[in-house]
Structure 1
Amino acid sequence: MKRSVVRRIPAVVAALLVSTTAGAALTAGSASAAGAATGYASANGGTTGGQGGATVRATTGTQIHQALCGRAGTSTPITIEVQGTINHGNTSKVSGSCDTAAGVIELKKISNVTIIGVGSGAVFDQIGIHIRESRNIIIRNVTIQNVKKSGSPTSNGGDAIGMERDVRNVWVDHVNLIASGGESAGYDGLFDMKDNTQYVTLSYSTLRNSGRGGLVGSSESDRSNSFITYHHNLYQNIDSRTPLLRGGTAHMYNNNYVSLNESGINSRAGAKAKVENNYFKNSRDALGTFYTDEAGYWQVSGNTFDNVTWSTPDDETNPAGPNPQSTTSVTVPYSYRLDQTSCVPTIVARTAGANTGLKESDGSC
């Protein structure tokens, strides 16, 4: 590490600085070289996270907070390499140039941060990541599991990753988001956005075993959230909300949806969903407007519905199938390549999730 870099950052961060080692399974250097923000996270000025700043290593939640709060300012770029298990026992509140809390990884009123798993991996066990009033955040190559809103211990309102209040430009990539049941078991959403959150991409990730995959908008009146991209993700054994979209615009392409038990993409309250080349299998009501009489809309093309069953329409159920047709048109401001739909399950299986070497699709089955 160059001495000039160490002089520019506070001592609490300097104490955490580590060298990139050739033996690590994944280093920050290789991570930054492997791809860039895609989808809506690439718009609105782009999402670069901690690019150009110092790199630190953290093995506890407290060290993550120390790195965030020890920066020269709340917008000083930083990349935090995380290795090992982060849990309630090693995550405490830290004071400084940011606002943190015990029992949750708090990214509040900050910007220009990358959190990335390295080495043998990073697991946030029963600890969620909360992003509030922040921008330009990247989270990659981590597992977040069993975050509860009731029972013990609790964290982040039961959300694996939750964003709220004036959040802009977040890229979440190659992560595993896992629950062990639904609301009755103490869990909430895996990937939630509300109260004016915009320009977000979730890519090459797995979302499993949850009652709720995620929402965009906390209520029918919360329509300030928009411009979300979901691509090359696996949703498996999810009851509903893949996602629930209230207002705003979202783009879903090349995702693999398996065992959506009650409903899937729920576009409602005036929302518009562009749904392209996704593979739905062994699921119910994969797309439509559900549990409300406030309609949403969709543009569909190239999707495969393999053993998908559809409900009969009624006052609060408007499934897109059994022969989904477009009800709106959506234009996105970025370029992207569509993989062949029949290849999506194979491509997602070899690329999505943490500890895959940040592999991305090369277009082949």
Structure 2
Amino acid sequence: MKRRTFGIAALALAATAGFGLQGTGTMAAAPPVPAAESSPVGYASMNGGTTGGAGGTTVTVSNATQFNQYVNASGRYVIQVNGTVSLSGMQRVGSDKTIVGVGTAGRITGGGLNLNGSRNVIIRNLSFSGSNDDAINVQEGATNIWIDHNDLTGANDGLLDIKRGSDFITVSWNLFHDHDKTALIGHSDDNASQDLGHLRVTYVHNWFRGTDQRHPRVRFANPVHVVNNYYSDIGSYGVASTMNAGVFVEANYFENVDRPTSLQEGDSDEGNIRASGNHLTGSGTLLTRNPGSVAAIPYSYSAETASGVKGTVTGGAGVGKI
């Protein structure tokens, strides 16, 4: 069985790697040139996989009227965004959709995308800014979601919220920057009945730059895999585990982060963190708690060595890199 390689030495390996049940990862040298996967690694590859609108109709849109027509239409669509889509609020996205920017021209502003119970959705290569709510909101049992190679900043609330029993999600190669509430998993402390056993998310090769908190902030989920991400100039904290969540913080690069990890935020109870192979420069102590209670990662993978993550991520994260 081949291992899913987060170092991305070749696209063919990314497309064909298999997944095991032991969650045993290995460390690999950083690749010389970052590349984009043709299919998701991590959780979004499980549960039947995430293919979005592949096999359906391909359309190109350049304004909100065209965009709104297709994103919640029935059936499979690959929606290519070539221009600025100015939304007036949160636009629902239906199942079996790929929404992808053309070059660096695809922009979403004024509002955000709401994946409310959606299944099998890919969002790639888009710049999000100026939302009057969240940039992307994933909720109500949405499953098999891949959020990849986007640029996210300047929302009124969160840049990426994942909550209310959503599951099998991969967040990869995104640039999150110049924002406060960045990436949330689990919206409240009293939602255990819906969230326990769900909210399984992989964060891999993201760049959190000049953001303040929630990278991610996790409730209940176990395990969440935070691997090979680059954190630079973080205001409050990096990764927070609360409400007995289990988070595996592996082979990330923390630069100028006073609190790389946190075990309690707000009124939430403490969570659990297992950490391995991280690189810290100009940063504080990486806290862990009850590492044995963090469940094994349920897919096979190879994480690149943390010292190479900064170069890999700065070279490959954000729009125009797929």
TM-score, normalised via structure 1 length: 0.73
Q: Counterpart in 1 of 2:303?
A: 338
CA contact (8 A) 2:162 2:199 kept: no
Q: Counterpart in 2 of 1:12?
A: none
Q: Counterpart in 2 of 1:228?
A: 201
Greater displacement, 191-200 / 327-336: 327-336
Q: Counterpart in 2 of 1:42?
A: 45
CA contact (8 A) 1:187 1:210 kept: no
Q: Counterpart in 1 of 2:89?
A: 103
Distance in 2 of aligned mates of 1:163 and 1:38: 19
Q: Counterpart in 1 of 2:8?
A: none
Judging changes above 3 Å, is the alpha-carbon distance between structure 1 residues 132 and 302 closer, same or farther for their aligned structure 2 residues? same
The structure with the larger Rg is 1
Give the AA of the match of 1:296. G
Distance in 1 of aligned mates of 2:317 and 2:43: 19
Q: Which runs of 5+ in 1 are unaligned?
A: 1-32, 89-101, 148-153, 180-185, 311-318, 359-365
Q: Counterpart in 1 of 2:220?
A: 247
Q: Counterpart in 2 of 1:166?
A: 141
Q: Counterpart in 1 of 2:25?
A: none
Q: What do the CA deviations read for 1:14-56 (whole angstroms, capped 9, x no partner)?
A: xxxxxxxxxxxxxxxxxxx951021101111111100111100
Distance in 2 of aligned mates of 1:214 and 1:242: 5
Aligned counterparts, 1:3-82, within 5 A? 35-69=38-72, 71=73, 74=74, 76-82=75-81
Give the AA of the match of 2:287. A
Give the AA of the match of 2:187. S
Q: Counterpart in 2 of 1:355?
A: 320
Correspondent of 1:272 among 246, 263, 273: 246
Give the AA of the match of 1:174. H
Q: Counterpart in 2 of 1:99?
A: none
Give the AA of the match of 2:139. E
Correspondent of 1:237 among 210, 215, 221: 210
Regions of 4+ moved over 4 Å: none
Distance in 2 of aligned mates of 1:161 and 1:258: 22
Q: Counterpart in 2 of 1:127?
A: 111
Correspondent of 2:180 among 191, 211, 223: 211
Q: Counterpart in 2 of 1:297?
A: 272
Judging changes above 3 Å, is the alpha-carbon distance between structure 1 residues 193 and 344 closer, same or farther for their aligned structure 2 residues? same
Distance in 2 of aligned mates of 1:195 and 1:293: 17
Distance in 1 of aligned mates of 2:148 and 2:318: 8
Distance in 2 of aligned mates of 1:120 and 1:208: 17
CA contact (8 A) 1:86 1:127 kept: no
SS of match in other structure, 2:59 = strand
Cα deviation for residue 246 of structure 1 reads 0.4
CA contact (8 A) 2:264 2:271 kept: no
Give the AA of the match of 1:123. R
SS of match in other structure, 2:236 = coil
Cα deviation for residue 330 of structure 1 reads 2.7
Aligned counterparts, 1:157-196, within 5 A? 158-179=133-154, 187-196=156-165
Distance in 2 of aligned mates of 1:271 and 1:257: 21
Q: Counterpart in 2 of 1:22?
A: none
Q: What do the CA deviations read for 1:319-339 (whole angstroms, capped 9, x no partner)?
A: 717xx8835343122222211
Q: Counterpart in 2 of 1:137?
A: 121
Distance in 1 of aligned mates of 2:110 and 2:68: 17
Correspondent of 1:259 among 230, 233, 237: 233
CA contact (8 A) 2:104 2:125 kept: no
CA contact (8 A) 1:235 1:256 kept: yes
CA contact (8 A) 1:260 1:283 kept: yes
Give the AA of the match of 1:45. G
Distance in 2 of aligned mates of 1:213 and 1:293: 18
Q: Counterpart in 2 of 1:6?
A: none
SS of match in other structure, 1:192 = strand
Cα deviation for residue 65 of structure 1 reads 1.7
TM-score, normalised via structure 2 length: 0.82
Distance in 2 of aligned mates of 1:326 and 1:120: 41
Give the AA of the match of 1:338. A
Cα deviation for residue 290 of structure 1 reads 2.4
* Greater RCO (CA < 8 Å, at least 6 residues apart): 2
Q: Counterpart in 2 of 1:320?
A: 287
CA contact (8 A) 1:234 1:255 kept: yes
SS of match in other structure, 1:166 = coil
Give the AA of the match of 1:105. Q
Identity of aligned residues (%): 32
Distance in 1 of aligned mates of 2:165 and 2:188: 12
SS of match in other structure, 1:275 = strand
Give the AA of the match of 1:192. D
Computed over aligned residues only, the root mean square deviation of the Cα atoms, in angstroms, reads: 1.9
Corresponding pairs, count:
281
CA contact (8 A) 1:61 1:105 kept: no
Give the AA of the match of 1:163. V
